[in-house]
Structure 1
Amino acid sequence: MYLTILRHGETDWNATGRIQGQQDVALNQRGIQQAQAAAAYLKTQQVDALYSSDLRRALESAQPLSQQWQLKIRPLPELREWKLGILEGLLRTEAAQQYPQVYPVYDEQQADGIIPGGETIRQRYQRAINCIEQLSKHHPNEHILIVTHGGILDNWYRYVHQIPLEQARDWVLHNAGISQFQKIGQQWQTLSWSQTEHLQEIGSMAYW
């Protein structure tokens, strides 16, 4: 089976460095254009099912894909971004000043660090991997497309490449980047990672 994962398009909070977590933020104008460009880039491929995080920025990114293939968007809360509790809605600089004991959990991506009102990276990893593996079992020999968030993509990359959560990330994650995978038997292979050819005229923010 084949799996395509699209990271949602840009939001104003991405652009200003405001911590989103599971806050329901809409795409900005560039994010809408990015989503449209991603759909156009993928139009020659056949997709059998379309899933998305149930957060607005992901659902809005999935909309052009839904229209293109006449596929229903199936929202799943398991595909949401990292729940960041008291840090959500703050600029990174504000979070560092207001919560100096907590902010390093976010900034250093500590796998088991606790943020009040949030979840750990390991908890996010477990829900994300369980969800995507279940989807792969429901769609054997099909091509499914998932629209989700940078944190989920990071977890999935680690899972496929057997990289520990404690290891610092050295791969990039682009807004509206397209990544593709193939599952043969029980083994996953990365076919492409965070493609941005479709965004050359629009541009895309990236974070490491």
Structure 2
Amino acid sequence: MRIYLIRHGRQNSPLCNVNVPLSDAGRRQAELLGERLKKESIDAVWSSDLIRACETADIINEKLHAPRIIREGLREISFGDLEGLSDDVIMERYADFFAARASMKEDLPYPGGENAADVIRRAVPVMDEIAKSGAETVAVVTHGGVIRSLVTHYLHMDGAYVPLLAKHLENCGITEFYYRESDGEMLLNRFNDFAHLMDEPELLRGGWGEKK
């Protein structure tokens, strides 16, 4: 079984983890991904229940016409006290936290929020449900913190190493796992494949400047 973990399209606000729709760029990212995935015989499209993930999944599914499944366990990591703040404010107020986190000595929770272990506890049961669904290929639209946490989990890395992956995950990029039924292992096939976005570089992370 192949499981495509997809980071949602670009949202229409630069504030931290606000539950908002996609921007125009985010919708375009999802359209391009849908065009690519329609060749992949996707059996089902799963997503978190947050607006940006649902909208991304629904746009993709306009090309796929697959069953849609929504799970709260696929929500973004809780950033706690950081949510709703701008990057500038976050870096000013929480500089010490990010310095400690960057040391990767422990899996630190965001102030008032979750850490990777918390995400794994709620997201892995959803991955297990997907693995047991009988499908051959599944698209799962979720969030950057969830994908990074799952990658460290299935590679048997400590959650403290999530920051290593923090700058390398495009919106609507594909991270693919292969579920090997014989022993229940999740094998990482590729990480952050965004070839479908390359012809429109303004859709990549370097093009983030759009505010609405």
For this structure pair, what is the TM-score category when the shorter chain's length is used for normalisation? Answer: 0.7 to 0.9
The share of aligned pairs that are identical, in percent, is 24
Match for 1:120: what amino acid? Answer: N
Q: State the number of aligned residues.
A: 199
1:59 to 1:107, Cα distance in 2 relative to 1, 3 A: farther
Q: In 2, are the aligned partners of 1:3 and 1:181 still within 8 Å (CA)?
A: yes
Aligned: 1:7 with 2:7: yes
163-172 or 81-90: bigger deviation: 163-172
**Alpha-carbon displacement from aligned partner over 1:60-109 (angstroms, at most 9, x marks no partner):** 11112222222232111100001122211111221233456656677778
Distance (whole Å) between structure 1 residues aligned to residue 6 and residue 48 of structure 2: 11
Shift of 1:169: 1.2
Which residue is equivalent to 1:158? Answer: 152
Which residue is equivalent to 1:58? Answer: 53
Q: Secondary structure at the match of 2:160?
A: coil
Q: In 1, are the aligned partners of 2:144 and 2:169 still within 8 Å (CA)?
A: yes
Which residue is equivalent to 1:142? Answer: 136
1:154 to 1:134, Cα distance in 2 relative to 1, 3 A: same
Say which of 176, 182, 204 aligns to 2:178: 182
Which residue is equivalent to 2:196? Answer: 198
1:98 to 1:159, Cα distance in 2 relative to 1, 3 A: closer
Q: Which of structure 1's runs of 4+ aligned residues deviate more than 6 A?
A: 105-109
Distance (whole Å) between structure 2 residues aligned to residue 73 and residue 105 of structure 1: 40
Distance (whole Å) between structure 1 residues aligned to residue 50 and residue 143 of structure 2: 10
Q: Secondary structure at the match of 1:166?
A: helix
Alignment of 1:83-102 (within 5 A): 83-99=78-94
Which residue is equivalent to 1:82? Answer: 77
Q: Secondary structure at the match of 2:196?
A: helix
Distance (whole Å) between structure 1 residues aligned to residue 36 and residue 102 of structure 2: 33
Q: In 2, are the aligned partners of 1:34 and 1:176 still within 8 Å (CA)?
A: yes
156-165 or 29-38: bigger deviation: 156-165
Calculate the TM-score normalised by the size of structure 1: 0.85
Which residue is equivalent to 2:109? Answer: 113
Q: In 1, are the aligned partners of 2:6 and 2:142 still within 8 Å (CA)?
A: yes
| Structure 1: gaps of 5 or more residues | none
